Chains A and B, each alone.
Chain A
Amino acid sequence: MRYETPASAKEAAGLLKKEKGAAFLLAGGTDLLVKLKMGIVEPDLVVDIKRIPKISEIQSSTKGFTIGAAVSGAELGEHAGLKKAWPGVVEAANLIGSDQIQGRATLPGNLCNASPAADSVPALIAAGAKAVVVGPLKKRTVAVEKIVIGPGKTSLAKGELIEAITLPKAEPRSGDAYLRFTPRTEMDIAVVGIAISLKLERGVIKKARVVLGAVAPTAIVVAAAAKAIVGSKLDDKTLDKLAAACSAACNPIDDKRGTIEYRVRVAGVLAKRAAKIAFQRAGGSL
């Protein structure tokens, strides 16, 4: 197995493109190295992006945030500005694994591993995050929901990698939240995950985005759920509609972590709870 530490994203892209064998990116390694240990992957080349300058930086500007691809969950959780603007994104990222995992896990890693149950993905989508994709010749920016196309599959072409995740500036009177269901309090893969981002106007929900995780092959944006809560202050009837829309949108599998029935049910339960948290964070009163 060859191990390279390129000095730029472009160089990394070139290495990936050139490789005839199995090539993998290494940032935090919390998925790759597990797969390596279990014999699921046998890389010929591993490209470690962590030595690229600025790849571990979080930059904030009036336009929003640019999060370098190697920023760890722990670093996200320590960034006061990011936590204030996008508490749902940060709490989602911080739910991935233990403090040890948090010392390494990255947003692009969580995204590109493309597990249906990835915690940060629904929250990133709900927040309108984008991925800065670098190839050997050009750069492009694409909405995060366009990256994952199936379990373990991304839309990235050979030789492309994500250099950064961007988040827009948080609008006034907006709030986001991420909740997930796990049997234990920590260390489990989400059985259901839900992210809700919303904006209020005069105390009423003006815009909303509802994204479910772990209940379909990829994270799903549930337009009907968002529609159900726009124009409301989350009264009980609206919450019921929200829950029903979320349950209806589920397309989960039965596996050792949860049954179809259980996931469909709990999706609705968590939707109500997440909506209330996002609403209160946006300044709404229940």
Chain B
Amino acid sequence: MAHDNSYVDKKFNIVGTRFNRPDGIDKVTGKARYGADASAPGQLVGKVLRSPHAHAQILKINTSKAEKLQGVKSVITFEDLPDLTGADQGMADILENCMARGRALYDGHAVAAVAAIDEQTAAKALKLIEVKYKKLPHVTDVDEAMLPTAPVIHDRIFTRGVEPKPTKPSNISSRTEMGNGDVDAGFAAADVIIEHSFKTEQTHQGYIEPHACLASVNPDGTAELWVTTQGHFVFRNVCAGLLGLDIAKLKVTSSEIGGGFGGKTHVWVEPVALALSRKANRPVKMVMSRDEVFRATGPTSSTSIDVKLGAKKNGEITAAVAELRYQGGAFPGNWAMLACMTAFACYDIKNNKSIGWDVLVNRPKVAAYRAPSAPMAAFAVESAMDMLAKELRMKAIDLRLKNVAREGTLAPYGPTYGPIGIEDTLKAVKAHPHMRAKLKPNQGRGVACGFWFNIGGQTSTDLNIGVDGTVNLAVGTVDVGGSRSSLAMIAAEELGIDYENVKANIADTTSLGHNDMTEGSRGTFSSGMATIYAAREAIEVLKQRAAKTWGIPLEDVSWEEGHAVATGKGHGNLPKLSLREIAAKSGRTGGPIAGHNEVTADGAGMGFASHICDVEVDPETGRSTIVRYTVVQDAGKAINPDYVEGQFQGGATQGIGWALNEEYIYGDDGRLQNPGFLDYRIPVCSDLPFIDTQILEIPNPNHPYGVRGVGETSIVPPLAAVGNAIANATGVRMGHAPMSPPRVLAALDALDNAG
């Protein structure tokens, strides 16, 4: 059955209200099971030996003593993970990232692994593995890695996107350029030009639940994997590929996930656990320690960015250029390219150019972190906007409104915008009472905007109606933030029944077709769309059964508010049939009633936001305190406003941590010095005020309810919102994030000395 994904304006009964989430009781009682909460009979404990060097040749690995230790059941190195990736370099990189193949590429890179009968034995076994390393020169800074003198990490990397093609390998995997118009002409026409350079340090998604899985491989090639993941179908495909298993024979069940934010979209210990299990012929449970999570999973890029803006006296920006250098860790990535796409996305600037450099360093392989690459670019561009406004003697918000992108604006990365919400969010910010609140001494207020594309992607959903009229909704997108509630609400809305009668579950990989990851803010958007279609298919079946029961043509049956209604001449005496009544008879009218849908959800609506931040800076210590924060974001349609607000607040808080205190600290030896929550400082409860939210709804024309993704945009504005607030509080422009107390104090000193 073909489905139309166009937005239809209508009144909702359930969607848009606030319902309690179905998984709430399990989570507040401790019953919910996460990655580390499963066990299997005979299970072994898996542990990984990791490189203590940032870059080293692995000359020899001697596992014999470990293998002989009583209680050790398997020991593996890369030799137990043969390279089956063929010509797929991306998969080869994943394989090498999971287990070093002759060379350790970063501090924490997995070198070997053991499975033993208990924790203590596994720890002892690791100590018995002898590894002979030859240290190699390393580089961990993105700018240093681009110098011709930098040690080259992979000699197969020749920069793509550069003419003529380089003859020598380097750490620059690609150069991207995009934009519109003629920036030179634009700058020539400008009355005022602002140029500034920015640096952001590496941060981690910081989910509280470490990676964990329970793997069990059988001699016949069937296997099971219980895992905390943002996408069990993708994990299945990747693990099957790396281990040479058949996809259908690897059953992956996603546990509840204790936070992901993009960091659980990749495999690290999972192929290792499967390989250990295969060799030991027993289930293997692997749970990462916190320091392993920081050292050896997928943090985001550290960056170095230059921005140049030119404008006429009236505030019209005539040219904008950004050069963005992003490191992707020890393997090539597309992070700078993504940054190019987002840098000027909030504005209608006819002449714009973004150049991105994707760079390798001896750090862990970067993974997506909530609107990947956008927060850093926004830090630079939104800070520069404030600097430009100051030069023009314009209000920062008015400069943004003057240049704001609208429907019909050509986006810097190609498409033309449909209806979008950035202007609405700016106007809402301008009108918001927060903007009129009085500021105290040492306080300042900053505003910043943000954008994220959001994505659609492959989705498969099953809706099954029980004989008592209650409904099972099986979805394949992992629930990271409450989507089970939203999806149940959508199903109930479509079917016209009570929310309590729909139970949404995340099905395992043997029960549904492929579902892409829960990332790109696609969970509610894509599964929501598939749920709508599945429900509409089920309604067709319900109508058919009613028609059969009444003995009337199908065209004379309509579905209204949870009932089949006989329309047309002569049927007025037929009483309505409820979903429950039809379901009760289903065994006799044709069998179980269900609706099913596979869709590659398309037309994800872009999410725009504007934030307001009030900060108080202690001028004697440089310490900043967030005293007030407001998020205004366009959600398209908020299915469950509670969970939309939660996304706004959570994303904003991660951005605030990134702005103030979070950073990876590497020593000169290339080792990570702060792989723990003590010294990797995420915001704690007492660091923050309440975070006010305002949900705007500019419907996405490509979704039946107008839904846009909401999960990511809110992490994009905070770095600049905080930076602009600090600038307004103190007069100093911070170009280096995090804007920690020592950096701010040094900047204050410099300002004092200069003036």
A and B touch in the complex (CB under 8 A): yes
Contact A269 B683 (CB under 8 A): no
Contact B678 A185 (CB under 8 A): no
Question: Which of A184, A189, A259, A269 has a CB less than 8 Å from the CB of B621?
Answer: A269
Give Cα A261–Cα B679 distance, bound, in whole angstroms. Answer: 19
Contact B681 A188 (CB under 8 A): yes
Confirm or deny: A181 has a beta carbon within 8 angstroms of a beta carbon on chain B.
yes
Chain A 252-264 per-residue mask, 1 if CB under 8 angstroms from chain B, else 0: 0000111101100
Which residues does chain A contribute within 8 Å of B180, judged by CB atoms?
none
Contact A185 B686 (CB under 8 A): yes
Q: How many residues of B contact A (CB 8 A)?
A: 23
Give Cα A59–Cα B550 distance, bound, in whole angstroms. Answer: 87
Residue of A nearest to B624 (CB): A183
Residue of A nearest to B663 (CB): A256
Residue of A nearest to B680 (CB): A256
Chain B 651-672 per-residue mask, 1 if CB under 8 angstroms from chain A, else 0: 0000000001100010000000
Give Cα A39–Cα B660 distance, bound, in whole angstroms. Answer: 31
Q: How many residues of A contact B (CB 8 A)?
A: 19
B352-389 contacts to A, CB under 8 A, are none
Confirm or deny: A265 has a beta carbon within 8 angstroms of a beta carbon on chain B.
yes
Contact B665 A184 (CB under 8 A): no
Confirm or deny: B693 has a beta carbon within 8 angstroms of a beta carbon on chain A.
no
A130-187 contacts to B, CB under 8 A, are 181, 183-187
Question: Which of A39, A184, A262 has a CB less than 8 Å from the CB of B661?
Answer: A184
Contact B742 A262 (CB under 8 A): yes
Confirm or deny: A266 has a beta carbon within 8 angstroms of a beta carbon on chain B.
yes
List the count of A-B residue pairs having beta carbons below 8 Å apart: 48
Question: Which of A39, A187, A257 has a CB less than 8 Å from the CB of B684?
Answer: A187
**Known A184-B681, A187-B677, A257-B679; 5 more pairs at CB < 8 Å:** A183-B623, A184-B661, A185-B684, A259-B742, A261-B742
| Closest-CB distance, A98 to chain B (whole angstroms) | 8
| Closest-CB distance, A275 to chain B (whole angstroms) | 14
Contact B623 A186 (CB under 8 A): no
Residue of B123, B291, B673, B678 with most partner-chain A CB within 10 A? B678
Residue of B nearest to A268 (CB): B620
Which residues does chain A contribute within 8 Å of B683, judged by CB atoms?
184
Chain A residues with a Cβ under 8 A of chain B? 38-39, 181, 183-189, 256-259, 261-262, 265-266, 269
Q: Is the interface of B mostly helix, strand, loop or mixed?
A: loop
Residue of A39, A183, A265 with most partner-chain B CB within 10 A? A183
Contact A186 B686 (CB under 8 A): yes
Chain B residues with a Cβ under 8 A of chain A? 123, 291, 620-621, 623, 625, 660-661, 665, 673-674, 677-679, 681, 683-684, 686-687, 740-742, 745
Give Cα A183–Cα B660 distance, bound, in whole angstroms. Answer: 9
16 A-B pairs whose Cβ atoms sit less than 8 Å apart in the complex: A181-B741, A184-B661, A184-B684, A185-B686, A185-B687, A186-B687, A187-B678, A187-B684, A188-B678, A256-B674, A257-B679, A261-B742, A262-B741, A262-B742, A266-B620, A266-B621
Give Cα A267–Cα B559 distance, bound, in whole angstroms. Answer: 74
Which residues does chain B contribute within 8 Å of A188, judged by CB atoms?
678, 681
Tell whether A184 pairs with B745 under 8 Å between CB atoms, given A256-B673, A269-B620, A269-B621.
no
| Closest-CB distance, B552 to chain A (whole angstroms) | 67
Give Cα A154–Cα B219 distance, bound, in whole angstroms. Answer: 57
Contact B742 A181 (CB under 8 A): no
Which residues does chain A contribute within 8 Å of B674, judged by CB atoms?
256
Closest 4 CB pairs of A and B: A185-B686, A269-B620, A262-B742, A256-B665
Give Cα A257–Cα B676 distance, bound, in whole angstroms. Answer: 13
Give Cα A183–Cα B679 distance, bound, in whole angstroms. Answer: 10
Give Cα A186–Cα B678 distance, bound, in whole angstroms. Answer: 10
Give Cα A186–Cα B665 distance, bound, in whole angstroms. Answer: 20
Contact A183 B684 (CB under 8 A): no
Which residues does chain B contribute within 8 Å of A183, judged by CB atoms?
623, 660-661, 681, 740-741
Give Cα A188–Cα B620 distance, bound, in whole angstroms. Answer: 19
Give Cα A93–Cα B665 distance, bound, in whole angstroms. Answer: 29
Give Cα A36–Cα B620 distance, bound, in whole angstroms. Answer: 39
